[in-house]
Chains A and B, each alone.
Chain A
Amino acid sequence: MVEPPESKIIELDQVTKVYGGWRTALDAVSLTVGPGITGLLGPNGSGKSTMIKSLLGLLKFQSGTSRVLGLQIPDQNRQIRDVVGYLPEDDCFIAGLSGIESIRFMAELSGMQPAEALRRGHEALDFADIHQERYRNVETYSTGMRQKLKFAQAIVHDPQLLILDEPTTGLDPEQRTLMLRKIKNLSQKHGKSILISTHILHDVRTVCDQVVIMAHGKIRLVDSLENLSRPAQAGMLVGVNEGTDKTVDDPYPEARQLVEQLAAQGTRAEIKDRGYVWVFDVTAERSQLIWDAAEAAGIHIGFLSSAKNSLEEIFFHTVKEAQHATA
């Protein structure tokens, strides 16, 4: 594994960005992002895109200081863009060029000699799973192809930091899994630091090492995914095989029966989202009592694991808190 060059990849200190003198997009944001994959979460209008554009030096902020890979914004904007790969959220392409020509063009803009840019462009397209389509005009590409092309242009110059804005948008489930695998591969095997801005919490759960949640122009939460997943109270999560006798009033009868059986045995449990049962204060070593309760209730267990906090819950809770604080 390649070691990243900086321990602090992104540093923001009291960065404030106000649009038109009245709309605060970034409100005294202070944040330090280390190596690895960082998920940037937040509802629409929370300031994610503004922060990303500020990191690339595309937007000027009113106050505060920020550094990317040790380079100062705005004095070293161009040096920053030379070592950062950016995958924009918007559908964007350079009209008239084929896939390989686009990537070669971007590589040349990053300072590669034309022949080297062409060679490297083919490598990047191979990695992004764009095959013979690379010789077609980009205007004929599907959304998914364009997404892969944007990914290829972001990595063609071998950047130290990748900023990926909604990298899996427009990809089918299989391609999405492959894309996430590639992102993880870039971080784990090639030492790339990656900042992913996304709305898809599953993507964050799959690849990210740490999570940053933004809302109303402020950083509301920064923590590792491991810490966030750790529940405040130990427990096991149980998924039961559902029967056919569910009703509107009783959507998860099997789960309810298991909870009642566990309660009869003196173990506290409750039904969570999608019929999962959270059994409190039970560790994996004592999971036999859950199997016993299920057998007694005549229920089949389909899934059993140590309970984790749901990222969805954390996200919604954080955003709701931010709304209350702002109100």
Chain B
Amino acid sequence: MPLHDVGYRSWEGAKTWLGSRWLVVTTTGIKLAFRSSWLSRALVLSWLPALILGVLFFFYEQSITVPDYRRPISGLVAASGSSSEIVRAALQNPGEVRHEVWSSLLLVFFRYPQGILMIILMGIIAPRLIAHDLRNRGYLLYFSRPIRVSGYVAGKALILWTFLAMITTVPALVLYVIGLSLSPDLNVIWSTWDLPLRILLASLVLMIPLSSVALACSAMTIETRYAAFSWFAIWVVGWTAYSVLRIGELAGRSGPRRRGRGMPEIVEQSSWELLSPFHVLGRAQQYVFGLYPDDKAIWPYGLVLVLVTVFSLWFVSSRVQARLRA
């Protein structure tokens, strides 16, 4: 018996707003996720690319006043997939194409280091989010309280959003601030004012479909290892299918191959990309950063992302509701 056992006591106190209770699912989920040592390591690792890009931002801004930096920087700009006009301008007058260069660097940051890290991070966090509740019937406890299935799903999704923001949005915004503070030119604010908004939009384009698919994988099974396997399989199978079909497409093309400069996935486009979630997300982000060559041709990618998101959320909700009905 406890030293100060007071027996049962009534409780009267102010309660939080009914509509905000699902946020408790998020806060508790974040605390739980942080108990994984792998997650902490992945988070530390995810900031390394931001440091490297920070150095690039510094040298690019310095190249406006120090011409010696222009040649290596223009090479890096070319490697980021920018058009030859931008590369040429970066070599001659970097201040004129600042917006395009910053956008390209941010896109590379979102697409490659963070894109791959985010797949790994989601593979660590997401599988257990719903699978554990289904296995241990935790949903009975959640729904004995005043939260809806939509609130439950939103609470779980917000856990993933938080971590995705920690490895994409926050470092990208920090990069932007670094760029601003290191620039010798005051015009930098005027010429790049929209980039924070584009970073937020690119983050949303990334977070919403990704978290939905990750939760769908978790809701598919009560075994977290199968959920993790299905999550990684989606990316690997999609990428492989695209690569194989793309190689076939290029091999069957008559005449000499056009050799694009920079990252081939960014420069060249193929309808087989729709099979690969990584490439679909890449195109959507390219559009958000204003680097997509044909604005009208983006709709298939947008449609795929919307359909995948809607289907995933419907699947998660129906799986949880089916358990409640059982």
Q: Do A and B come from one complex?
A: yes
Of the listed stretches A107-115, A239-247, A260-268, chain B binds A107-115
- Are A108 and B24 interface neighbours, CB within 8 A? yes
Structural contact, B146 and A78, CB atoms closer than 8 A: yes
Chain B residues with CB under 8 Å of A53's CB are 324
Asked whether, in the complex, the Cβ of A81 is within 8 Å of the Cβ of B8, the reply is no
A160 to chain B, nearest CB (A): 10
- A88 interface residue (CB < 8 Å to B): yes
Check B71 for interface membership: any CB of A closer than 8 A.
no
> Chain B: interface residue count, which band?
35 or more
Do A94 and B11 have beta carbons less than 8 Å apart?
no
Determine the chain B residues whose CB is within 8 A of the CB of A120 once the complex forms.
11
Name, among A82, A90, A123, the residue most crowded by chain B CB atoms within 10 Å (CB to CB). Answer: A123
B6 and A81 within 8 A (CB): no
* Smallest CB separation, B156 vs chain A (Å): 12
A79-B18, A190-B10 given as contacts; is B145 within 8 A of A106 (CB)? Answer: yes
A106 close to B141 (CB less than 8 A)? yes
Which of B99-107, B130-138, B185-193 is near enough to bind chain A?
B130-138
Find out whether the CB atom of B144 lies under 8 angstroms from the CB atom of A111: no
Q: Taking the nearest CB of chain B, how far is it from the CB of A102, in angstroms? A: 8
Residues of B14-47 whose CB lies within 8 A of A: 14-16, 18, 21, 24-25, 28, 32, 35
Majority DSSP secondary structure for residues of B touching A: loop
* B residues less than 8 Å from A90 (CB atoms): 137, 140
Give complex CA distance A226, B175 in Å: 76
Instruction: Take A59-B325, A95-B128, A127-B7 as given contacts and tell me if A88 and B13 are in contact as well, using a CB distance cutoff of 8 Å.
Output: no
B147 adjacent to chain A (CB < 8 Å): yes
> A112 and B13 in contact (CB under 8 A), knowing A53-B324, A58-B143, A78-B146?
yes
Q: Is B252 an interface residue (CB 8 A)?
A: no
A91 CA to B308 CA in the complex, in Å?
Answer: 34
Residues of A within 8 A of B257 (CB): none
Across the interface, name the chain A residue whose C-beta is closest to B7. Answer: A127
Do A157 and B141 form a contact, CB below 8 Å, given A78-B148, A96-B35?
A: no
A81, closest chain B residue (CB): B146
Closest chain-B Cβ to A70's Cβ sits at a distance in Å of 16
Chain B residues with Cβ below 8 Å from A123 are 6, 8-9
Tell yes or no: B2 within 8 A of A by CB: yes
Complex Cα distance A139/B133, Å?
A: 13
